[in-house]
A and B are shown apart, each in its own frame.
Chain A
Amino acid sequence: MPAQPRFPAVSRLLHWTMAVMVLIMLCIGVAMVVSLGDYHALVSIHRPLGIAILILVVVRFVNRLINPPPPLPATMSRAERLAATASELAMYGLMLVLPLVGWGMLSAARYPIVLHGSVHLPFILPHNAVLYAVLRKAHTILAYLFFLTFMAHVGAILFHTLIVRDGMLRRMAP
């Protein structure tokens, strides 16, 4: 069995940078909604970090077209391949949709979306109470979904690394 092919260096850099950002983002998100004293400080990080993730996921998608991922290990069954592809697709989708829903819900509520100082984003939706309420709920549900997908991703990698031992982690190891 030949050594596992690895992801290109740019892809690995993007993966680990975004992994850290997304994990911080999920933690801030779940903490800020139950916080009084730290609420403002956390929100002030949450908004620009979300926009940074939105920009990076577009970069990452373009990079994926330029630098296609190496083939999946031969040890994976058809079902496993399907699950891997689906979860990957879900994570790409969530990294794109969650910031957009956040931006959209703040727009519908007319909360200024301040990145830093006087730099702020334009509103992308009309001022509408129902739109805000629906998107606000969707933001929470999608974030929990992202956390579950993240857990499945980590669990699957650990399983392959410790039980199947097919060197799956080496494809992406920094």
Chain B
Amino acid sequence: MSTYLEAPVETERRPLSIAITVARLALIGVALVVVAGAFAYLGGWLSPNNLTPARFTDAFERVDGVHAGFRRNHAKGVGVSGVFESNGNGARFSKAAVFHPGRVPVVGRFSLSGGQPDVADGADAVRGLGLQFNLPDGEVWRTAMINLPVFPFRTPEAFYQRLVASKPDPNTGKPDPAAVQAFLDRHPEIVQAMNVIKGQPLASGFDNSTFHGLNAFRLVNSTGSSVPVRWVLTPMQPFEAASTASSVQDKNYLFDALIAQIHRQPLRWQLILVIGQPGDPTHDATVAWPAGRERVDVGTLTLDRVDAEDTSAATDINFDPLVLPAGIAPSDDPLLSARSAVYSQSFTRREGEAKQPSPITPADVHRGD
């Protein structure tokens, strides 16, 4: 190489023949095309059928329509805020400051599943609670929980296929039962999970619902040792079963009840860490861990304020389940990264849209203040 570098300039600068010039230009072209091709491959342009965050979010939009400014799933909701008071019991498992004894402010959002912000409240809809714990040193912990004891889908692909199969047929107004059945036949784990879900009595409202984090995580303590964990919020409001009567309820009956309850007195939940044992599945949210796992009560969540989406601090928060403080880490559950990716896509779309007024208005929320 060095002899080449020091070769006399005259020999190096001998004019190239036309053939060699063309060949060299072609070489440059090929090199650039290869680089551009690799970039296009990584960017997914060469695999238009891969499931991406954008295509996942498109599926929500196809099923429920585009409602500018609203979340693509769990679109209907109200903001809440309050405080989490840690009793220090969690510090044994995790070094996260949220588990030190003391209080941290919390912003949250109650919601119903589906992409329609003005859907009528119903017992069938999944109830959600997104929370953001603001830790003292500027760290943040976000979690998005629902009132199901297990999640029906093991993988993002299964969730996506169910979403596609649930799109109402334009002729009947209902999902195609054959498509749904064919889908369930391919996914026995969903049928099993649905049986677990149906076996749990449904609570009458948001206030007495148990909320599950569903996905497994890992807690890391100050000595660096880690345990698998799932978390649950158990209500301190007494359980009351949802009415089975088929009487027509008010369109916002679940949210109206929640608003009235918070105005009456703060609502409280205990945060329970369920500590997994070696061998407990951490990659499969459709399966509950065996009974008898250690359950540690780590503190009390108190929600004492409710706000409409138009004014709530929760509206512009993406309750990404992988926004975690040091001391809480993701597990190998494939849903976690996918949730993070799709939530981010939904967030980016809605933040770029002109916000529409929330169907649950500030006047609804502050009635009786």
Contact = CB atoms under 8 A, between A and B. Distances in A.
Interface of A: 1, 3, 26-27, 30-31, 33-41, 43, 109-112, 117-118, 120, 122, 127, 129-130, 132-133, 136-137, 147, 151, 154-155, 158-159, 162-163, 165, 167, 170
Contacts of B53: 33-36, 39
Interface of A is mostly: helix
A101 to B, nearest CB: 14
Contact of B334 (A37, A158, A163): A37
Nearest to A40: B337
Nearest to A36: B338
A36 B341 contact: yes
Interface stretch (B44-52, B176-184, B229-237): B44-52
Interface of B: 5-6, 9, 12-13, 16, 21, 24-25, 27-28, 31-32, 35-36, 38-39, 42-44, 50-54, 56, 137-140, 156, 316-318, 320, 322-323, 325-326, 330, 334, 336-338, 340-342, 344, 347-348, 351-352, 355
Contact of A30 (B43, B316, B336): B43
A36 B51 contact: yes
Contact of B21 (A38, A110, A136, A163): A163
A30 B351 contact: no
Q: Chain B CB within 10 Å — which of A30, A109, A118, A151 has the most?
A: A118
A40 B32 CA distance: 30
18 contacts: A1-B9, A3-B6, A26-B39, A27-B42, A30-B39, A31-B44, A34-B54, A36-B338, A39-B53, A40-B336, A40-B341, A117-B326, A118-B325, A120-B139, A129-B351, A151-B35, A158-B28, A163-B16
Contacts of A38: 337
A38 B12 CA distance: 48
Given A112-B139, A118-B326, A129-B351, A39 B28 contact: no
A135 B51 CA distance: 26
A147 B42 CA distance: 13
Given A31-B42, A34-B44, A133 B51 contact: no
A133 B338 contact: no
A141 B16 CA distance: 39
Contacts of A163: 16, 21, 24-25, 28
A165 B21 CA distance: 11
Nearest to A121: B138
Contacts of B24: 162-163
A111 B56 contact: no
B140 A112 contact: yes
A109 B28 contact: no
A109 B322 contact: no
Contacts of A137: 352
A120 B35 contact: no
Contacts of A111: 318, 320, 323
A122 B138 CA distance: 8
A129 B318 CA distance: 11
Nearest to B344: A39
Contacts of A41: 337
A26 B36 CA distance: 12
A1 B11 CA distance: 12
Contact of A40 (B13, B138, B340, B347): B340
A154 B338 contact: no
A16 to B, nearest CB: 17
Contact of B52 (A34, A43, A154): A34
Contacts of B21: 163
A110 B341 contact: no
Contacts of A117: 326
Nearest to A147: B39
Nearest to B29: A155
Contacts of A110: 316-317
B350 to A, nearest CB: 8
A122 B139 CA distance: 10
B348 A170 contact: no
Nearest to A148: B36
Contacts of B31: 154, 158
Contacts of B330: 40
Contacts of A147: 39
Contacts of A37: 156, 334, 337-338
Contacts of A31: 42-44
B318 A155 contact: no
Contacts of B344: 39
A120 B138 contact: yes
A34 B50 contact: yes
A162 B26 CA distance: 11
B43 A151 contact: no
Q: Chain A CB within 10 Å — which of B24, B42, B138, B347 has the most?
A: B42
Contact of B341 (A39, A159, A162, A170): A39
A165 B12 contact: yes
A120 B27 CA distance: 45
